[in-house]
Amino acid sequence: MTLRVCLWLVVLATVFTLAGNQDNHVDCAEPWKVCVKEGDQAVLRCDVSALMNGQSEDDLYIRWVTNKGEVCVLNEGKSSADNGYRNRTEIAREKGTEYQYLLIINKTTFSDAGDYFCKLQKLKGRGEDVTTVHLTIQGHKNNVSVEFGKTFKISLPMTEDVRLHFTSASSSTQADVCAVEQNTLRPGRAYASRAELRNGELWLSNITFADEGSYSVIDVKTENIRNTVVLSVRGQDKNWELDEGGDLSISLCSLNSSYIEFRGGTENSAAERVCEVENGTVTHPAKEYLQRLAVWNGTLILRNLTAKDHGKYIVRDQMGGRDVLTLTLKIKVKPQGTHTTGWSMIALPVVPIVLTILLAWIGKIVLERCVWRTPTS
């Protein structure tokens, strides 16, 4: 392969890469293009001044049509809509103008997208094409933030078949999360255990940082993007208060590899390693925690809490290096009088024995007196 051929291949690869990275953005800067969000109002303009020749507006007969049929007409100053445009569409003259007429479509839907043709027909004569306007209906885009381990919810239309497509924020990963056909959920293999359809919403449970990205609801028939939700995942932030001597339970949120860090109760406390957890097993525990740590059913347990355990615990995902949980723990120390040590530890088991002997002695005395007072026959 010659050097010239190699250079051409590099150029072609660069061009195709740039083309593939372009956003699917619709340019609506041209006057004959109108772009609106689904559900918003669309306004299409038609200037008939060049065809009036000084005639009265009462002679106007304006028709807006699409390739599917008639949309709306203006006849003798009265507007009337047809087909699926009734009760939401009208033709009106633009304020401050003489021959500028507007086609106003309210509550737009994706089926409204397409070319609209404005025609002017005089009472005497054939109709003439005035202008063509292309209407694009765009889906909404929202930003949602969900805590790590929680449930992500996204609305899905129940009257049409759609699929939910995921594009990762941190990698080139793309996948169909699910499809909804005739109100039946068909989850992708990777989401089968986490996806659930509830009252027109997809619930995706146990969210992790790998779920961050864009979720696009796509119409199966037209491939139009109905709406897009950009999901960001944040770590949990909790404040707990536990009794001295109790246990601290920290959910590891199905992490395969986690690092647990501890900072003391003061602001300048240095970070200390508590332990690491690999596939449900405690590894590299710090010496002071060695005998008190255990993992059970995805939960890390720190037993026999003391006042020294007061502070901040951070659970970090070792794979991505991000904090999953920041837990501020306060220890309720038992009052000094409640500690049973020294003589009190000896007295507790002895007291019942002493009471039993004392009651037996009193009973014996009472019984002897009763016998002494009883007269003999």
Same domain, 134 and 201: no
Q: Please identify which residue in the block is written with the tokens 């103008």.
A: 97
Same domain, 34 and 128: yes
Q: Using DSSP, state whether 8 is helix, strand or coil.
A: helix
Same domain, 195 and 205: yes
Same domain, 133 and 34: yes
Q: How far apart are CA 124 and CA 173, in angstroms?
A: 63
Q: How far apart are CA 308 and CA 305, in angstroms?
A: 8
Tell me, what's the pLDDT at 213? 97
Same domain, 53 and 72: yes
Instruction: Give residues with Cβ within 8 angstroms of 57, minimum separation 6.
Output: 77, 93, 99
Nearest to 117 by CA among 44, 59, 64, 192: 64
In which band, very low, low, confident or very high, does the pLDDT at 4 lie, cut at 50, 70 and 90? low
In a domain, 260, yes or no: yes
In a domain, 200, yes or no: yes
Lowest mean pLDDT among 119-133, 231-245, 246-260: 119-133
In a domain, 44, yes or no: yes
In a domain, 348, yes or no: no
Lowest mean pLDDT among 95-99, 101-105, 121-125, 338-342: 338-342
Q: How far apart are CA 316 and CA 324, in angstroms?
A: 5
Same domain, 224 and 319: no
- Name the residue with higher pLDDT: 345 or 129: 129
In a domain, 202, yes or no: yes
Same domain, 85 and 180: no
Instruction: Give residues with Cβ within 8 angstroms of 173, minimum separation 6.
Output: 166, 167, 213
Same domain, 32 and 122: yes
67 and 113 Cβ atoms separated by less than 8 Å:
no
Lowest mean pLDDT among 14-28, 50-64, 163-177, 193-207: 14-28
pLDDT at 348 over 90: no
Same domain, 86 and 127: yes
Alpha helices in the chain (DSSP H): 3-21, 343-373
Which CATH number does the domain housing residue 156 bear?
2.60.40.10
pLDDT at 26 over 70: no
- Name the residue with higher pLDDT: 375 or 98: 98
In a domain, 318, yes or no: yes
Same domain, 225 and 277: no
Q: How far apart are CA 314 and CA 144, in angstroms?
A: 24
Q: How far apart are CA 317 and CA 234, in angstroms?
A: 12
Q: How far apart are CA 159 and CA 168, in angstroms?
A: 28
Backbone angles phi, psi at 183, to 5 degrees: 65, 15
Backbone angles phi, psi at 97, to 5 degrees: -120, 165
Tell me, what's the pLDDT at 251? 86
What is the mean predicted confidence (pLDDT) over 146-152? 95
Residue range 281-337, pLDDT digits in tens: 999 999 989 899 999 988 999 999 999 999 999 999 988 889 999 999 999 988 775
For residue 76, give Cα distances in angstroms to 49, 56, 62, 103, 129: 17, 10, 10, 16, 19
Phi-psi region of 256 (alpha: psi -120 to 50; beta: other; left: phi over 0): alpha
34 and 83 Cβ atoms separated by less than 8 Å:
no
Per DSSP bridges, beta strands 140-147 and 225-234 are: parallel
324 and 316 Cβ atoms separated by less than 8 Å:
yes
Q: Please identify which residue in the block is written with the tokens 């401050």.
A: 96
Amino acid found at 86: R
Q: Please identify which residue in the block is written with the tokens 């109002």.
A: 41
Q: Which residues pair with 119 in a beta bridge?
A: 63, 129
- Decide which of 92, 121, 138 is a domain's last residue: 138
- Decide which of 138, 164, 191 is a domain's last residue: 138
- Decide which of 116, 138, 160 is a domain's last residue: 138
- For 70, the domain range is 28-138
What is the mean predicted confidence (pLDDT) over 164-181? 94
In which band, very low, low, confident or very high, does the pLDDT at 18 lie, cut at 50, 70 and 90? very low
Domain count, the chain: 3
In a domain, 176, yes or no: yes
- Name the residue with higher pLDDT: 191 or 373: 191
In a domain, 218, yes or no: yes
Q: Please identify which residue in the block is written with the tokens 């395969």.
A: 256
Termini Cα distance of the chain = 140
For residue 242, give Cα distances in angstroms to 298, 308, 351: 21, 13, 32
Same domain, 164 and 264: no
Q: Which pTM value belongs to this model?
A: 0.66
Lowest mean pLDDT among 164-173, 174-183, 364-373: 364-373
Backbone angles phi, psi at 88, to 5 degrees: -145, 5
